[in-house]
């Protein structure tokens, strides 16, 4: 997996790379951190670009993995739970 922070280039996460997928099967890019003001609070966000070689994961598996990763990023306290604790599919898709 290649992980690249391209936020310093002032762009969002990209979905393409010039790396030979035979050598590395996945790419994650992290875009520029942006600020959004809502009422009296400020929220920060950034885009992620994620690509995986279809020879190792089909689209169904890929989207389910991305949904789980998004859920964990939005609920990081779950990562402090015991590893044996199950994350239910219906919690992820809410």
pTM of the model: 0.60
Determine the Cα–Cα distance for residues 46 and 2; give it in Å rounded to an integer. Answer: 18
With tokens 């936020």, the residue in question is: 7
Q: What is the 3-state secondary structure (H, E, C) of 30-55?
A: ECCCEEEEECCEEEEECCEEEEECCC
Read off the pLDDT of residues 44-93 as tens digits, 9 standing for 90 and up: 988 888 887 777 778 888 888 888 888 888 888 988 988 888 888 888 87
Inter-residue contact 49 to 15 (CB < 8 Å): yes
Read off the pLDDT of residues 6-18 as tens digits, 9 standing for 90 and up: 888 888 887 776 6
Element (H, E) at 12: none
Query: Binning pLDDT at 50, 70 and 90, where does residue 27 land?
Result: confident
The dihedral sign for the CA sequence 22, 24, 26, 28: negative
């Amino acid at each position: 997996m290649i992980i690249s922070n391209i936020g310093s280039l002032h762009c969002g996460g990209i979905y393409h790379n010039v790396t030979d997928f035979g050598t590395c099967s996945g790419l994650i890019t992290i875009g520029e951190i942006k600020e959004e003001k809502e009422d009296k609070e400020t929220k920060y966000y950034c885009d992620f670009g994620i690509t995986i070689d279809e020879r190792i994961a089909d689209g169904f598996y890929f989207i389910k993995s991305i949904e789980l990763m998004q859920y964990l990023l939005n609920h990081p306290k779950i990562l402090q739970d015991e590893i044996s604790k199950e994350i239910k599919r219906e919690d992820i898709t809410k």
